[in-house]
Amino acid sequence: MPRILITGVTGFVGSHMADFIIQNQPDAEIYATRRWHSSKMDNVRHIQNRIQWLDCDLTDPVSTRIAFEKAAPDRVFHFAAESFVSPSWNNPHRYMAVNYNGTVNLLEAMRITGSRARFLIPGSGEEYGEIEQGELPIRETSVLRPVNPYAVTKIAQDLIGYVYFRSYGLNVIRTRAFNHEGPRRENVFGIPWYAYQIARVEAGLQEPELRVGHIDDLRNFTHVADMVRAYWIAMEKLPPGELFLVGSEDERSIHTFRAALEQLIKMSKVPGITYRIDPEFVRPTQVPRLIGDMSRFRDLTGWKAEIPYERILSDTLSYWRARIAEGRH
> Does residue 239 sit in the same domain as residue 200?
no
Contacts with 90 (C-beta within 8 Å, 6 or more apart), sequence order: none
- The dihedral built from the CA positions of residue 218, 224, 226 and 230, taken in this order, carries a sign that is positive
Residue 93 belongs to domain spanning: 3-180+222-246
pLDDT tens digits along 125-136: 999 999 999 999
Is the pLDDT at 328 greater than 80? The verdict is: no
State whether 193 and 318 are in the same domain.
Answer: yes
Examine the domain organization and report whether 87 and 233 are in the same domain: yes
Q: What is the 3-state secondary structure (H, E, C) of 48-76?
A: HHHEEEEECCCCCHHHHHHHHHHHCCCEE
SS3 of 250, please?
coil
Tens of pLDDT along 43-62? 999 999 999 999 999 999 99
The enclosing domain of 237 has a CATH number of 3.40.50.720
Q: What is the mean pLDDT of residues 195-200?
A: 98
Statement to judge: residues 199 and 227 lie in one domain: no
Convert the pLDDT of each residue in 234-275 to its tens digit: 999 999 999 999 999 999 999 999 999 999 999 999 999 999
In a domain? residue 84: yes
Same domain membership, residue 14 and residue 163: yes
Whether residue 137 is preceded by a cis peptide bond, meaning omega within 30 degrees of 0, is yes
Residues 104 and 197 in one domain: no
Same domain flag for 82 and 173: yes
Give residue 154's pLDDT: 98
Write the pLDDT tens digit of every residue in 103-125: 999 999 999 999 999 999 999 99
- Same domain membership, residue 266 and residue 166: no
226 and 257 belong to one structural domain: no
Q: Is residue 297 part of a domain?
A: no
Percentage of the chain lying above the pLDDT 90 cut: 97
pLDDT, averaged across the chain = 97
pLDDT of 37 higher than 90: no
Domain identity same for 110 and 171? yes
pLDDT at residue 113, as a whole number: 97
pTM score: 0.97
| Total of domains in the chain | 2
d(Cα 303, Cα 316) in Å, to the nearest integer? 23
